[in-house]
Structure 1
């Protein structure tokens, strides 16, 4: 029997960029994450680990403000693109072609650890999270963005048909679209783990709390500005925020 492995995007980097980064919904995700992290970006020089950096949009955004960045990714092509982006901006960083959970043992503690859209692609998400978050120094911060299992269950229930049986027996995970993560997480379980480990939730945002539930026809007949105004109104309110396609948490470590 083969062991489950973390997902590597080397073979899908172009599709990943086209379907996720180069879209209005991708821009919306970046907007909200940046808003949640702006108070940290304004601090004096922080030592930051971008764990599973992808193209490093957020890491580069911090580096532009003078912060010190360490970046890693299991995808060689993703890491190469991140290096290109830093070089184009004339900025320096430390890069590692390693998985975050394996690299963690070799690193010192950081003022900020960012784990964005990584958790849901890992073979053992919560165990890996426990390892990675240990690199946050006491008084430091963890920025965690993850694919929300609530949204996955709800959106597929609305589509009905064969999906209902698969949802009931938990066999839907990772089926279908190659960009559908195999291990989405429930926000309440992630938050419980973080609080038990001595973290306090300071920012809690839902990413696309309405957009991804609309059918293509409904989207075609909707004013996008009005839709995103509604997204913005409700994305940080209880109930709605835990129904977003992604959930972003900014947590401060209060104790070891």
Structure 2
């Protein structure tokens, strides 16, 4: 039982420490790498050809299909580990649950349920629509779209893998509760960053908060035995992966990615200072 408390503490401490480390380490290198540059060039070409709204839709659909293609074989691998990994963990947790701590985890795990997050999504969409005034349709459309995007992509992956659920719960692969927390609160943090000028430290701090919320959501789903362990682990990868592509699409729609380059100075403008000096 003590070990379960220790794991709960790790579910908070580890993402709180890992979030900034990932953002300032691999995250920064990835943003400045060749893959990011290639993606930027491709998106720039699409924006030039199709315009920003159409590009945002195309990129979202492409990323959703890519996410499905990646997490389908991962799900098959998770299914193959059910007897070796998931069942021993489920039985181990069953023998060590504490009624008082279980009540807290049942309370917290409801954060990832569909009904409360639907209300959060609607309220956030309305609030940011008011803040964005003439461009109200961007947050209204994007925030509301985040919920069905996660739901249907996760449902397609779950149907393709069809691994079943624990006898103690109805959770499917990958954990939708974790992915919903990441998508819902992630898109809120994204619009906070798009609405107000915040430093990179604030961006990292807010992203880390969402990471902590999602990680403990995974722990609570495991403690309440709604999911297999492999559902939880893959949910912590699936959620950020899906959100990353959606965040790029939102930034495209909002005109923040790729950033328009300032017009280059023409020959006349370049010679103007020399002409003035000569006169």
TM-score by length of 2: 0.27
Higher alpha-carbon Rg = 2
Q: Which has the higher helix share?
A: 2
Structure with greater strand percent? 1
